């Protein structure tokens, strides 16, 4: 049975992201890769809308990813059910990618697929990097945590909030050891947090209701998780 029930779309217009510096890349022909890889559906939607950032076109496109060169990709959109397969396709085509620049990451339309994607990033020992003006929000934060190394420039921003199910119940409405909560605590542990760190970080994110957001600077994030 799916651990995540589908959510109602959170309509949050919570302020503009800072303008990006040096974000324009030469425009070239973009290749769209559409995968039919089967992934369980029904995952929760969890993202925070903000003013769209200026994003690079790159040299190839795989879902929310833009390939910048042979070693770098950018994440510039919401992830969804297809994102793990699109990530795999990108690495088959560009196996040298070792860094993901997180430029405009609103979150995810499928939490289960998003956690799978995070585990894939972590297993490949890819560095996650939020440049000055980059914005990582909601489910995007889980992907930032997946980096083997995590880098956030001054001027990067993060936003966190609780998830909610289709009945409006949030994390706090479930027992601490319920599968819905354990899924995140287990994930944070796999990303390198101790049990205490995972519990404290998860509690901080869930202290904010689903229909709101808590904004964090790179310095704030560094108080919760190790940054390189």
Residue 2 lies in a domain: no
Cα(49)–Cα(14) distance, integer angstroms: 7
Residue 115 lies in a domain: yes
Q: Which strand (E) or helix (H) includes residue 86? A: helix 83-93
Task: Inform me whether the pLDDT recorded for 193 exceeds 70.
Answer: yes
Predicted confidence at residue 47, as pLDDT, reads 54
Q: What is the mean pLDDT of the chain?
A: 82
**Which of the given ranges, 30-44, 118-132, 159-173, has the highest pLDDT on average?**
118-132
Q: What are φ and ψ of residue 39, in 5° steps?
A: -135, 140
Decide if 52 contacts 133 (C-beta within 8 A).
no
Q: Which among 217, 219, 225, 168 is positioned nearest to 196, based on CA atoms?
A: 225
Which comes out higher in pLDDT, residue 59 or 18? 59
Strand order of the β-sheet with 135-137 is 104-105, 135-137, 157-160, 214-217
Residue 155 lies in a domain: yes
The CATH number assigned to the domain holding 75 equals: 3.90.226
Q: Which two tokens stand for residue 18?
A: 């800072």
Decide if 50 contacts 135 (C-beta within 8 A).
yes
Cα(137)–Cα(78) distance, integer angstroms: 10
Tell me the percentage of the chain whose pLDDT exceeds 70: 76
Read off the pLDDT of residues 126-156 as tens digits, 9 standing for 90 and up: 999 999 999 999 999 999 999 999 999 999 9
Predicted confidence at residue 50, as pLDDT, reads 52
pTM of the entire predicted model: 0.79
Cα(54)–Cα(181) distance, integer angstroms: 35
> Which of the 8 DSSP states describes residue 210?
T
Predicted confidence at residue 21, as pLDDT, reads 31
Burial code (b: 16+ CB inside 10 Å, e: under 16) for 164-179 equals bbeeeebbeeeeeeee
Q: How confident is the model at residue 164 (pLDDT cuts 50, 70, 90)?
A: confident
Residue 13 lies in a domain: no
Predicted confidence at residue 17, as pLDDT, reads 37
Q: Which among 143, 104, 151, 105 is positioned nearest to 124, based on CA atoms?
A: 143
Residue 20 lies in a domain: no
**Number of neighbours of residue 1 by Cβ within 10 angstroms:** 4
Cα(133)–Cα(154) distance, integer angstroms: 8
Residue 12 lies in a domain: no
Task: Inform me whether the pLDDT recorded for 196 exceeds 90.
Answer: yes
Residue 18 lies in a domain: no
Predicted confidence at residue 166, as pLDDT, reads 77
Predicted confidence at residue 167, as pLDDT, reads 86
Predicted confidence at residue 64, as pLDDT, reads 97
Q: Which among 36, 147, 33 is positioned nearest to 81, based on CA atoms?
A: 36
Cα(72)–Cα(123) distance, integer angstroms: 17
Decide if 114 contacts 136 (C-beta within 8 A).
no
Residue 111 lies in a domain: yes
Q: Please tell me whether residue 186 adopts helix, strand or coil conformation.
A: helix
Decide if 119 contacts 148 (C-beta within 8 A).
no
Q: What are φ and ψ of residue 143, in 5° steps?
A: -70, -35
Range of the structural domain that residue 86 is part of: 46-222
Task: Inform me whether the pLDDT recorded for 185 exceeds 60.
Answer: yes
Q: Indicate the number of domains in the chain.
A: 1
Task: Inform me whether the pLDDT recorded for 184 exceeds 60.
Answer: yes
Q: How confident is the model at residue 220 (pLDDT cuts 50, 70, 90)?
A: very high
Read off the pLDDT of residues 52-99 as tens digits, 9 standing for 90 and up: 456 788 999 999 999 999 999 999 999 999 999 999 999 999 999 999
């Amino acid at each position: 049975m799916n651990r995540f029930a589908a959510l109602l779309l959170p309509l949050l217009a919570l302020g503009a992201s800072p303008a990006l510096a040096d974000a324009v890349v030469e425009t070239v022909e973009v290749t769209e890769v559409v995968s039919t890889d089967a992934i369980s559906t029904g995952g929760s939607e969890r993202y925070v809308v903000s003013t769209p950032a200026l994003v690079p076109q790159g040299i190839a496109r795989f879902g929310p990813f833009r390939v910048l060169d042979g070693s770098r990709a950018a994440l510039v959109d919401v992830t969804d059910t297809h994102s793990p397969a699109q990530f795999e396709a990108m690495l088959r085509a560009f196996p040298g990618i070792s860094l993901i620049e997180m430029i405009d990451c609103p979150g995810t339309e499928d939490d289960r697929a998003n956690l799978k994607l995070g585990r894939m990033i972590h297993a490949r020992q890819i560095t996650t990097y939020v440049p000055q003006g980059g914005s990582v929000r909601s489910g995007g934060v889980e992907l930032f945590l997946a980096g083997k190394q995590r880098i956030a420039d001054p001027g990067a921003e993060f936003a966190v909030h609780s998830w909610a199910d289709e009945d409006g119940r949030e994390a706090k409405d479930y027992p601490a050891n319920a599968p819905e909560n354990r899924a995140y605590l287990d994930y944070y542990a796999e990303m390198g947090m101790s049990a205490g760190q995972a519990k404290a970080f998860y509690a901080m994110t869930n202290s904010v209701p689903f229909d709101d957001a808590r904004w964090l600077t790179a310095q704030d994030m560094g108080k919760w998780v190790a940054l390189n």
